[in-house]
Amino acid sequence: MKVLVIGSGAREHALVWKLAQSQSTSQLYAAPGNPGMAAYAQCLPIAVNEFDALAGFAEQNQVDLTIVGPEAPLIDGIVDVFRRRGLHIFGPDAAGAALEGSKAFAKEMMTAAGIPTAQHRTFTVHKEAVAYLEEHGAPVVIKADGSAAGKGAIVALDIETARDALRQMMVERVFGTAGDVVVIEDYLQGDEIGATAICNGETYLPLTLTQDHKRALDNDEGLNTGGMGVYTPLPFVNRSQEELIHQQIIAATLKALNERGVNFTGVLYSNVMLTEGGPMVLEHNTRFGDPETQALMLLMRADLLDILGYPTMLSLEPQELWHPGSAISLTLASGGYPGKYRTGLPIKGIEEAERLEGVQVFQAGTALKDGQLVTAGGRVLSVCARGATLREATTRAYEAARLIQFEGVHYRHDIAKRGLRA
């Protein structure tokens, strides 16, 4: 099969790396790809939002399956464009991706379907939002509707921060039109985890649970980022809790979508808070997580193309699906990220790191300059490792990270701490 992967980050690098091991892959393409992916795939100079050019390439080159990494093209309807042209593509159509694209839609649907999520109110008028906030009090979470590149949610532990967030979103409009509609929701406490499922209508294959680390610095300090590290599976979640997450959240969401005429195919990846009152959805995503995917691909034993290309494979047993043990991904970021950072800095040590047992390095913000690999983004690399235990995987990943150098490199030192404590 000829497969095209759309995207340019470490998530897509991990997907391409895994697809390259498939018996059924004859040719891999990535659009636009990155230098890491070029080892397995032909990288195409087509941007993720050039739907006609992408579909045209797939047609002309008889691509059998296209897999979409990032949310933006899904929300903007790339799947609809491909399907209209009779092309096979893995991902939800625009109606399904609205679950991620519109927080207001997601909340409304969850409330109507009885899917556990924080109590919320939706506002379009700043004055009304402030009035509700004054009456409700803090802590609260304030979210700009629409996809604000992961920065649209502000956790306000005090009322001042909350007032500030409303003003920024609704008056100063720092997130642009994403601030037209603002959601104020109750603050939830507990362990925050990720639940990922490969979905085909109401049928789904749950992947192992993950835990991301969104803040830039150790001990969950610093600003929110795209994700600083993930490990999987989670030793502190037992089988019955996991079952509850799948039934009450994944299955219930697919059913609710179906009742609204949305046949959801693709990845449903939900951020879930394990509260004292049970699992509750923080947010739904309709694509693979990043850096979740890097750890998941390392742990996966099964052929990814079978899983994504043939929904009949959805009944795999856990031992067919996974290697035993654990996997972890560490984000190596540019100095200053998620704020301002420099690019074009030489990267050294990837080969040495990959010589370590169980280690794989996926590239995110990298570029080639005169044959030298250099930094080109905030999140630069995902240093991943698999091990027989979470401890082993973690030790391997940190050993590998220490072998990699670029000026200003920073990463968290406490990824998987919660899991190791359990």
Residues near ligand AMP (CB under 6 A) are 118, 141, 143, 152-153, 155, 185-188, 192, 214, 271, 282-283
Site for ligand GLY in 184-213 (CB under 6 A): 212
Q: In terms of C-beta density within 10 A (0-12 exposed, 13-18 middle, 19 or more buried), how is residue 372 classed?
A: exposed
109 or 404: whose CB is closer to ligand AMP? 109
H/E stretch holding 350: helix 350-354
Which region, judged by CB under 6 A, interacts with ligand GLY, from 61-69, 138-146, 286-294, 367-375?
286-294
Burial environment of residue 261 by CB neighbours within 10 A (0 to 12, 13 to 18, 19 or more): exposed
* Structure token pair of residue 214: 């969104």
| Contact criterion met (CB below 8 Å) for 162 and 133 | yes
Cβ-based nearer residue to ligand GLY, 227 or 365: 227
292 binds, among ligand AMP, ligand GLY, none (CB under 5 to 8 A by kind): ligand GLY
- Which residues between 32 and 91 bind ligand GLY (CB under 6 A)? none
> Considering only residues 9, 92, 152, 289, which one is a binding residue for ligand GLY as defined by CB under 6 A?
289
Q: What Å distances lie between residue 382 and 11, 16, 96, 108, 353, CA to CA?
A: 9, 14, 29, 35, 12
141 touches, from ligand AMP, ligand GLY, none (C-beta below 5 to 8 Å by class): ligand AMP
Which of 187, 310 has the CB closer to ligand AMP? 187
Count the neighbouring beta carbons within 10 Å of the beta carbon of residue 50: 18
Rounded distance between C-alpha atoms, residue 177 and residue 187, angstroms: 24
Distance from C-alpha of 152 to C-alpha of 145, rounded to nearest angstrom: 7
- CB-CB contact of 410 with 337 (8 Å): yes
Closer residue to ligand GLY in complex, CB, 87/214: 214
Q: From residue 144 to residue 183, what is the string marking binding to ligand GLY with x (rule CB under 6 A)? A: ------x---------------------------------
Identify what 110 binds: ligand GLY, ligand AMP, none; CB under 5 to 8 Å per kind: none
Report how far Cα 120 is from the mean position of its chain's Cα atoms.
24
Find which of ligand GLY, ligand AMP, none residue 192 binds, CB within 5 to 8 Å per kind.
Answer: ligand AMP
Which residues are 195's β-sheet partners?
Answer: 270
Nearer to ligand GLY, 25 or 196 (CB): 196
> Which of 247, 240, 135, 246 has the alpha carbon at shortest distance from 195?
246
Tell me the CB-side half-sphere exposure of residue 22, using CA atoms within 13 A.
24
Find which of ligand AMP, ligand GLY, none residue 187 binds, CB within 5 to 8 Å per kind: ligand AMP
Report the SS3 class of residue 360: strand
* 3 state DSSP class of 284: strand
CB of 365 to ligand GLY, least distance (A): 15
In this structure, what token pair is assigned to residue 119?
């109590």
Q: Which does 143 bind (CB under 5 to 8 A by kind): ligand AMP, ligand GLY, none?
A: ligand AMP
Nearest C-alpha neighbor of 197 from the set 257, 284, 273: 284
Are 54 and 33 within 8 A, CB to CB?
Answer: no
Q: Is position 292 an interface residue for ligand GLY (rule: CB under 6 A)? A: yes
Looking at beta carbons only, is 150 or 222 nearer to ligand GLY?
Answer: 150
- Contact status, residue 291 vs residue 227, Cβ threshold 8 Å: yes
Distance in Å, CB of 123 to ligand AMP, minimum: 16
CA distances to 12, 53, 331, 378, 390 from 364, rounded to whole Å, are 9, 23, 9, 9, 24
The first and second tokens of residue 324, run together, are: 């035993």
Shortest Cβ distance from residue 332 to ligand AMP (Å)? 21
What one-character DSSP code corresponds to residue 248? Answer: I
- Per-residue contact track with ligand GLY, 208 to 247, x per CB under 6 A? ----x--------------x--------------------
CB 254 within 8 A of CB 315: no
Q: How far is the CB of 294 from ligand GLY (least distance, A)?
A: 10
Shortest spacing between CB 190 and ligand AMP, in angstroms: 9
Distance CA 18, CA 21 (A): 5
Contact partner, 289, from ligand AMP, ligand GLY, none, Cβ < 5-8 Å per class: ligand GLY
286 vs 360 by CB, closer to ligand GLY: 286
**Binding partner selected for residue 22 from ligand AMP, ligand GLY, none, CB under the kind-specific 5 to 8 Å limit:** none
Q: Please, what is the minimum distance in Å from the beta carbon of residue 283 to ligand AMP?
A: 4
Contact footprint for ligand GLY (CB under 6 A)? 150, 212, 227, 285, 289-290, 292
